[in-house]
Homo-oligomer: A and B are copies of this chain.
Amino acid sequence: MRISELSRRSGVPVATIKYYLREELLPAGVATSATQAEYDEHHLRRLRLARALIAVRGLSVSTTREVLRALDEHSTDLHLLFGLALGAVSTDEPDSPSDRPQEPTPADELISALGWEISEKAPTRTTVTDTLRTLRDLGLPADWQTLVPYARLAERTAELDLAQLEDTEDPLERVERAVLLTILLEPVLLALRRMAQENESAKRHPRP
């Protein structure tokens, strides 16, 4: 297909596609004349993924290039692909357990109690530990045990997430969906929780 068709099917403006080509986020098309090139389905999927990483996940162009390059090198390792696209893991820095503090953090204890396999450097560990500290500082009785039932529900949410990637075989398309579903559903999941709280509160506290 021509670049105009690639633009129409992806919803990405032609000028942006040309910029991505210059920045090597997309491989060049097959030249059909001095000024025209032909693109295929692979370009389309890669373009959509690049767009999702930049516009939805908010990555810089250079980080997106690195992620896409890593995706090319590891295209059979779906687990690593998801990790790369979602920012949980990195290819260039191996886990270094020796750098970690001796004392297990609340996040470490939670993950260990759940029996989860989570990379040592996942930034989500810090989120858990820092929030528990804040809650305690504010006088709320919350520790990692408080989070166990929430984590069990998160497991079921993740099963729903992953199940939605099953109906496509193409690794790039799966990764694109993983990024979009993970990031775009975040505000929705929080909105559903707020609404469910409102509903549960109405059930527990009938209006006087």
Interface residues of A (CB under 8 A from B): 11, 48, 52, 56, 76-80, 82-83, 86, 88, 111, 114, 116-119, 122, 124, 127-128, 131, 134-135, 137-140, 142, 146-147, 149-151, 153-162, 164, 177-178, 180-182, 184-202, 204-208
CA–CA, A202 and B86, complex, Å:
14
Contact B153 A153 (CB under 8 A): yes
A123 to B192, CA, bound (A): 11
Q: In the complex, what's the smallest C-beta–C-beta distance from A78 to chain B, in angstroms?
A: 4
- Decide yes or no: A77 and B208 within 8 Å by CB, A187-B131, A199-B116 being known contacts: yes
Q: Is B124's CB under 8 angstroms from A155's CB?
A: no
- A-B pairs, top 10 by smallest CB distance, nearest first, are A158-B196, A124-B191, A154-B192, A78-B205, A127-B191, A116-B199, A154-B196, A79-B205, A158-B197, A158-B200
- A199 neighbours in B (Cβ, 8 Å): 114, 116-118, 155, 158
Which B residue's beta carbon lies closest to that of A158? B196
A86-B197, A122-B198 as given contacts; A191 in contact with B128, CB under 8 Å = yes
What separation, in Å, do the CA atoms of A192 and B158 have in the docked complex?
9
How far, in whole Å, are A198 and B87 apart by their CA atoms in the complex? 11
Among A77, A124, A139, A192, residue most surrounded by chain B Cβ atoms (within 10 Å): A192
Q: A82-B201, A131-B184 are in contact. Are A195 and B153 (CB under 8 A)?
A: no
Q: Closest CB-CB distance, A84 to chain B, in whole Å?
A: 11
Contact between A202 and B79, CB atoms less than 8 A apart: yes
Contacts of A83 in B (CB 8 A): 198, 201
* The one of B149, B157, B205 that contacts A193, using a Cβ cutoff of 8 Å: B157
Which residues of B sit under 8 angstroms from A11, Cβ to Cβ? 137-138
Chain B: minimal CB distance from A111 (Å)? 7
Alpha-carbon distance between A97 and B88 when the two chains are bound, in angstroms = 44
Knowing A127-B188, A131-B188, A151-B192, the reply to whether A182 touches B197 (Cβ < 8 A) is yes
How far, in angstroms, from A48 to B200 measured CA to CA in the complex? Answer: 25
